[in-house]
Amino acid sequence: MATEKIILGIDPGTTIMGFGIIKVINKQMHFVQMNELMLKKYDDPYTKLKLIFERTIELIDTFHPDEIAIEAPFYGKNVQSMLKLGRAQGVAMAAGLSRQIPITEYMPKKIKMAITGNGNASKEQVAKMLQSVLKLKSLPKNLDSTDGLAAAVCHFYNEGKVELGKSYTGWEAFIKQNPGKINKQ
């Protein structure tokens, strides 16, 4: 009997949220879709968060992923950027958790390493490797969608390995794994 799983990968962002979907049939990856949610035209940060949540719910309801892989925000030079990215990631995670979908978080270097073998690979190198592995005819202009796809492929490659990123199966699991981070009123 064929085993089948759908993995949604998300590259959260407040200007562009990239996402990619793969289907795994008998341990073989098949490309389903990649795209991006363009948020540049919205000035209000709360509108952006609402749109990220709604688009993630729409993707879940359309493709019925079994698991979600999401890129973790990383600390660069700008703390404000990281906070914005963290909010975007949190909203996408909340959408998945609201539908009881297991979520695994991966650091950008871990995703790049899984796809190219080099944790310092460029977005272009990651995209080219995905194009080769998944036999994609062309690559998008913006590489945020390939970053989302890379999260899904990274999750597939890391399946069954002991040390994954942080995983949550629902709100209760999230709260248990993050004691003291929830502000109790």
Q: Which of 11, 36, 105, 147 is catalytic?
A: 11
CA 148 to centroid of chain Cα atoms? 5
Residues 6+ apart with CB under 8 A from 177: 166, 168
Nearest to 146 by CA among 6, 3, 5, 16: 16
Please check whether residue 162 is in contact with residue 104, taking contact to mean a CB–CB distance below 8 angstroms: no
Q: Which of 36, 67, 105, 144 is catalytic?
A: 144
Binding-site residues from annotation for Mg(2+): 11, 71, 144
Distances (CA, A) of 130 to 116, 118, 155, 160: 9, 14, 14, 21
Please check whether residue 92 is in contact with residue 56, taking contact to mean a CB–CB distance below 8 angstroms: yes
Please check whether residue 52 is in contact with residue 42, taking contact to mean a CB–CB distance below 8 angstroms: no
Q: Which of 36, 67, 71, 147 is catalytic?
A: 71
55 CB burial (10 A radius; 0-12, 13-18, 19+): buried
Is there a catalytic annotation at residue 144?
yes
Is there a catalytic annotation at residue 71?
yes
Binding-site residues from annotation: 11, 71, 144
Active site residues: 11, 71, 144
